[in-house]
Structure 1
Amino acid sequence: MTVQSVLKVSYDKLDHTCQEIFLDIACFFRRKHKDFVSRILGSYAMMGIKVLNDRCLLTISENKLDMHDLVQQMGQEIVRQECLKEPGNRSRLWDPDDVVRVLTRNMGTQAIEGLVVQSSLASQISTNSFTKMNRLRLLKVYYSGFLLRAFVENLPQDLDFPCFDLRYFHFKGYPLESLPTNFHAKNLVELNLKHSNIKQLWQGNEILDNLKVINLSYSTNLVEISDFSRVTNLEILILKGCESLESFPAIKGDMSKLREIDLSSTGIEELPSSIRHLKALQHLDFSYCKSLRSLSESICNLSSLETLILDECSETFYHHDFI
């Protein structure tokens, strides 16, 4: 019996939920932070990770998930065996050759639940590349920093995302000025649009009670963010480097989970007095906010605040608030 066969026996003894968690980690999340993976994969992920660790299919070191190369290869081979001839009929795609085949021939199907697209394949993304992938849970489009300009210019401006199950949307250099009109965010847990061209995050009144992390850092064209009253479970908001953003919306409703806000290097001039409602806020970063004029006295009511960073703010701000 080969090593792979022995490992496969361990996999076969897992229940379906643990098998799915194992395959997601093997294909997409090796060496990622445990808390991040648990957040993305959902309520059963923490227990599943414990089971995988107990069965020696997964290791945890410094709170990061890892596995032996042979274990990862076994997991990825299980996915390949789902459909050897047509990668578009597999549940997860990460291999660049398989991804380019699916994108160039428009072979994506509803079988695909997870997809990683490298920057070198950007020119293969068409308007309808994701149209048939209506069960997509995980989508990551990333680039090497020096390829950013080419990456954005080679993308269509009318991407279609009819993905009702999408939980993780990571798209560096996102080329549009707003999310598509048919973007379904109801199940979204993390939105990561670093270095995007986005100007306004979204419109409408849909309650987004699953969304926990929003990262729009270095989206230099961002000029407006809607109020977060419908993102009731938001935990982390990162707007670092959004230099065109000059105002922060009033806090409405219950935002009892929001614990981190990064507004460093933005054009923010002041915070609304309603900031006092963020009772769980622990970390607030205003560093390099050259336009910051004052801080509302309401900030004194942030009972959980542990870190307030004001490095390199304007001299006017320091004069009015601390002298």
Structure 2
Amino acid sequence: MGRSIVLEESKDVGKRSRIWSREDIDHVISKNKGSDLIEVIYLQSSIPYKANWGSEAFSSMWSLRILIILCNVYLPHGLTCLPSSLKILEWQAYPLQSLPHRVHLLAFPPLISSLASLKELDISDYNLKIIPNALGCLPSLEVLDLSKNNFENLPDGSCVFPPSFSGLASFKALNISDCNLKTIPNVLGGLPLLEFLDLSENDFSNLLDGNCVLPPSFSCLSSLKFLKLINCNLRDGSIPKDLSCLSSLKELDLTGNKITHLPAQCVANLSLLSTLHLSYCPKLKYLSNLPPNL
């Protein structure tokens, strides 16, 4: 009954509100026949196939709200655009390594659970309040941008990162700058391959005197090469006394903080450290025991 009503909407497939047959979907997308009348695309097939879709094939479907693809589709031209109207995306065996930027989805778990080969994910400025547990279902994920979200904090100031987060075995780069963090989540220490971490623009000034900004679990981050703590309201006592556990660290950025000095052994044993940023630290008085590469 419902399909009959849709078929009566127009003889032109590209001007119907819903499309579900493989032939119609191929015709509309490969021929750029899509219009702002299409709201739902549902493709299900047991046969893998190569789709001759252009990288911007969805760009004219301004009203597309639901895109569900339950089959193996090879996209030789890639995918650079999805409409901003899209709210629900479920794509079985998603063939690419990243999603087009600025896809604001309501149904986050379906998106994640079907994109097991995804390597890069940008969900910055996404108005997230919590970290989705489904992120732990991305075994191939290497790069994640969570910046400019507004995460909720527990009464003790901590932010809840799901335990599954530490299961991201391939994880190499994380940006959680400007996310309203009050403390650094301990679970981040469970990412042994992490090479880049940006925690800038979070206010850590509420740490108790003498409490280090980096949790004890960071002693496991021996692969970390770049650490950014820009404008975090750090002061004396919040900088670790010894960062030698971060044996691969090449760049440390402490720009815009309120420290007067670095602890004597803070960076002394970081033999690979070649860049130390301390610009706009107006209270800085002296530095000592710097490693030889600085």
TM-score w.r.t. the length of structure 1 is 0.56
Pick aligned residue for 2:123 from 164, 171, 183? 171
Q: Does 1:295 align with 2:262?
A: yes
Residues 105 and 258 from structure 1, CA distance in 2 versus in 1: closer, same or farther, beyond 3 angstroms?
closer
Larger radius of gyration: 2
Identify the residue that residue 133 of structure 2 maps to in structure 1. 181
Cα deviations by residue, 1:9-64 (Å, 9 ceiling, x for unpaired): xxxxxxxxxxxxxxxxxxxxxxxxxxxxxxxxxxxxxxxxxxxxxxxxxxxxxxxx
Q: Does 1:312 align with 2:280?
A: yes
Residues 137 and 85 from structure 1, CA distance in 2 versus in 1: closer, same or farther, beyond 3 angstroms?
same
Q: Does 1:97 align with 2:40?
A: no
| Amino acid corresponding to residue 189 of structure 1 in structure 2 | E
Separation (CA, whole Å) in 1 of partners of 2:54 and 2:160: 28
Give RMSD over aligned pairs.
3.6
Identify the residue that residue 277 of structure 1 maps to in structure 2. 245
Identify the residue that residue 236 of structure 1 maps to in structure 2. 196
Shift of 1:249: 2.2
Residues 281 and 140 from structure 1, CA distance in 2 versus in 1: closer, same or farther, beyond 3 angstroms?
same
Identify the residue that residue 155 of structure 2 maps to in structure 1. none
Separation (CA, whole Å) in 2 of partners of 1:314 and 1:220: 25
Aligned residue pairs, count: 222
| Amino acid corresponding to residue 83 of structure 1 in structure 2 | D
Residues 103 and 201 from structure 1, CA distance in 2 versus in 1: closer, same or farther, beyond 3 angstroms?
farther
Is the partner of 1:182 in helix, strand or coil? helix
Structure-to-structure mapping, 1:110-259, within 5 angstroms: 110-111=71-72, 115-117=79-81, 121-122=83-84, 124-126=85-87, 129-133=88-92, 135=94, 137-142=96-101, 156=106, 159-160=108-109, 161-162=112-113, 163-183=115-135, 184-199=137-152, 200=159, 202-204=161-163, 206-217=166-177, 219-227=178-186, 228-243=188-203, 247-252=213-218, 254-259=220-225
Determine if contact 2:124/2:148 at 8 Å carries over to the other structure.
yes
Separation (CA, whole Å) in 2 of partners of 1:91 and 1:249: 49
Q: Does 1:263 align with 2:263?
A: no
Cα deviations by residue, 1:118-169 (Å, 9 ceiling, x for unpaired): 6xx43x132xx123445364344535xxxxxxx9xx864x633223322110
Residues 240 and 130 from structure 1, CA distance in 2 versus in 1: closer, same or farther, beyond 3 angstroms?
same
Separation (CA, whole Å) in 1 of partners of 2:52 and 2:170: 23
Cα deviations by residue, 1:51-81 (Å, 9 ceiling, x for unpaired): xxxxxxxxxxxxxxxxxxxxxxxxxxxxxxx
Identify the residue that residue 37 of structure 2 maps to in structure 1. none
Gaps of 5+ in 1: 1-81, 144-150
| Amino acid corresponding to residue 286 of structure 1 in structure 2 | L
Q: What fraction of aligned residue pairs are identical, expressed as a percent?
A: 19
Shift of 1:204: 0.5
Shift of 1:230: 2.0
Residues 216 and 136 from structure 1, CA distance in 2 versus in 1: closer, same or farther, beyond 3 angstroms?
farther
Shift of 1:257: 2.0
Separation (CA, whole Å) in 1 of partners of 2:52 and 2:64: 15
Determine if contact 1:251/1:274 at 8 Å carries over to the other structure.
no
Separation (CA, whole Å) in 2 of partners of 1:133 and 1:91: 18
Identify the residue that residue 36 of structure 2 maps to in structure 1. none
Is the partner of 2:222 in helix, strand or coil? coil
Is the partner of 2:252 in helix, strand or coil? strand
Residues 201 and 192 from structure 1, CA distance in 2 versus in 1: closer, same or farther, beyond 3 angstroms?
farther
| Amino acid corresponding to residue 268 of structure 1 in structure 2 | L
Q: Which has more helix, going by share of residues?
A: 1
Separation (CA, whole Å) in 1 of partners of 2:200 and 2:52: 34
Is the partner of 2:147 in helix, strand or coil? coil
Determine if contact 2:190/2:220 at 8 Å carries over to the other structure.
no
Shift of 1:188: 0.7
Cα deviations by residue, 1:232-287 (Å, 9 ceiling, x for unpaired): 11111122323458632234454332111111122334233452111111110101
Residues 305 and 136 from structure 1, CA distance in 2 versus in 1: closer, same or farther, beyond 3 angstroms?
same
Gaps of 5+ in 2: 1-24, 31-40, 44-50, 153-158, 208-212, 289-294
Shift of 1:210: 0.7
